[in-house]
Amino acid sequence: MTTPLLGSTTPLAPALFQSSVYAIPDLDALARIYSAEEPGFIYARDAHPNAHLLGITLAELEHASWSLVCGSGMAATTASLLALVRSGERVVASNCLYGRTSQLLKQELSRFGVATTFVDCNDLEAVRIALQTPARVLQVETMSNPLCRVIDIEALARLCESHDCRLVVDNTFATPVLAKPLELGAYLVIESLTKMMGGHGDVTLGVVSGRDGELLPRISQIMSLWGLASNPFDCWLTARGLSTLELRVKAATANAAALADWLAAQPGIIRVVYPGRPDHPDHALAKRVLPRGLGNMLCFELEGGRDAVNRFMRGSKGVPFCPSLGSTQTTCSYPAMTSHLYESPAEKKRQGITDGLIRLSVGIEELGEIQMEMAKGLK
Ligand code: PLP
């Protein structure tokens, strides 16, 4: 977009339109903007240029026909569920989702008369049985948070197709660099841009993308009315982050694969959970579903439970305890008291979220540097 001030020149970096509202010449222009006869923006909660431009880039990346940027990953999940389900309808969901997504389904959607059945999505027969009772949505994660369970998106998409259900895939851990769920039959794909896609730990945003235009106006309206919109500066920063996404994912993935093997050889570690390791329950499936790499997320369990975790955190200051993921710097988190805090002890036990479990978001530093910092906490 050019302004008289710039003459014939254009800035190399995209412009930031940090405005909550736009001046409109007159009512005729307003009517033309409403009817899409002419481009333009009115109010940033409804739409703004930086979200619009970021949406175009993201749709290309996802191989989607549209992408809508929302105020967070949870806003993207909320918008998609609100658009797809109504009171009296049912959701089937993976039984190892990001804790806040499970909580949204269990504690919030239930208040609006939407019931959720949680099921092991690696057991296709169990999913088929769950879908025999009509369900509007099957909610899954390409690679689950935190234990990196990988699902067969194509097989689940076929099951959804034959049961008139919409497959919604949260692709946050994989990113579109490693998986493009819409190409594998998903109806909607969601990512938290706060994580690897923004990539620098400085934004809070999400995105929902779709294959056909059917749901686009509905989700736009929901975003506006439920107040789920993004802000321009975070969109601008995320656009900058996306320009290095592929490089960062490749570097962090290579580091994670090497670090998983290194950790498995360290004393005091009971188990290492990484889909690239042969002892991961979904190792073979993961290599098929994610042929470009198995991501930057891994978990390890320390002997000695919570006390050992505290010692690790105090010792390895160079791997800060930050309950998020996907930054350039390696960080760690503790699922039992952060992402899955609200799960019951029995549910944590079932998922394998133990007192000694640390989740690692591997960054793009030199591998030796990460090992050196980790080793300080493992002494
Ligand atoms: N989906 C997954 C897999 C996540 O890990 C998270 C956050 O950790 C979210 C969604 C929610 O994203 P946000 O924090 O941007 O709302």
Residue 257 — very low, low, confident or very high, per pLDDT cuts 50/70/90?
A: very high
pLDDT at 326: 98
Residue 2 — very low, low, confident or very high, per pLDDT cuts 50/70/90?
A: low
CA distances from 1 to 6, 103, 314 (A): 10, 42, 49
Task: Give residue 239 CA to ligand 1 midpoint distance, Å.
Answer: 18
pLDDT at 191: 98
Closest ligand 1 atom number to CA of residue 141: 3
Residue 1 — very low, low, confident or very high, per pLDDT cuts 50/70/90?
A: low
pLDDT, average across residues 185-202: 98
Q: Is the beta carbon of 72 within 6 A of some atom in ligand 1? A: yes
Closest ligand 1 atom number to CA of residue 97: 3
Residue 230 identity (one-letter amino acid)? S
Q: Is the beta carbon of 139 within 6 A of some atom in ligand 1? A: no
For residue 4, the tally of other CB atoms under 10 A from its CB is: 5
pLDDT, average across residues 215-233: 97
Strands 297-302 and 357-361, bridge-based pairing: antiparallel
Q: Is the pLDDT confidence value at 197 over 90?
A: yes
Atom 15 of ligand 1: nearest residue by CA position: 73
Q: Is the beta carbon of 170 within 6 A of some atom in ligand 1? A: yes
H/E stretch holding 206 reads: strand 206-210
Q: Which residues on neighbouring strands pair with residue 188, listed in sequence order?
A: 168, 210
> Looking up tokens 């699902």, which residue turns up?
151
First to last CA, the chain: 56
pLDDT at 64: 98
Task: Give residue 35 CA to ligand 1 midpoint distance, Å.
Answer: 35
Closest ligand 1 atom number to CA of residue 193: 15
CA 21 to chain centre: 29
- Residue 155 corresponds to which tokens in the numbers above? 């097989």
Residue 212 — very low, low, confident or very high, per pLDDT cuts 50/70/90?
A: confident
- Residue 135 corresponds to which tokens in the numbers above? 């369900």
Q: Which residues on neighbouring strands pair with residue 90, listed in sequence order?
A: 115
In angstroms, the CA 226 to CA 263 distance is 44
The 8 Å CB, 24+ separation contacts for 372-376 are 372/318, 373/316, 373/317, 373/318, 373/319, 373/330, 374/259, 374/263, 374/316, 374/319, 374/330, 375/266, 375/316, 376/315, 376/316, 376/317, 376/318
In angstroms, the CA 264 to CA 181 distance is 31
- Give the residue, out of 72, 74, 338, with the most ligand 1 atoms within 8 A of its beta carbon, to mutate for a pocket test: 74
- Give the residue, out of 140, 178, 189, 192, with the most ligand 1 atoms within 8 A of its beta carbon, to mutate for a pocket test: 192
Closest ligand 1 atom number to CA of residue 194: 15
Mean pLDDT of all residues in the chain? 97
CB within 8 A of 308, min separation 6: which ones? Answer: 268, 302, 356
Atom 11 of ligand 1: nearest residue by CA position: 73
In angstroms, the CA 99 to CA 137 distance is 18
Closest ligand 1 atom number to CA of residue 172: 3
Question: In the chain, how long is the greatest CA-to-CA distance?
Answer: 72
Residues, the chain: 379
- Residue 178 corresponds to which tokens in the numbers above? 């490693």
Helices (H) and strands (E) in the chain, counts: 14, 11
Residue 324: exposure state from Cβ atoms within 10 A (0-12, 13-18, ≥19): middle
H/E stretch holding 231 reads: none
pLDDT, average across residues 309-320: 98
The tens digit of pLDDT for each residue in 74-124 reads 999 999 999 999 999 999 999 999 999 999 999 999 999 999 999 999 999
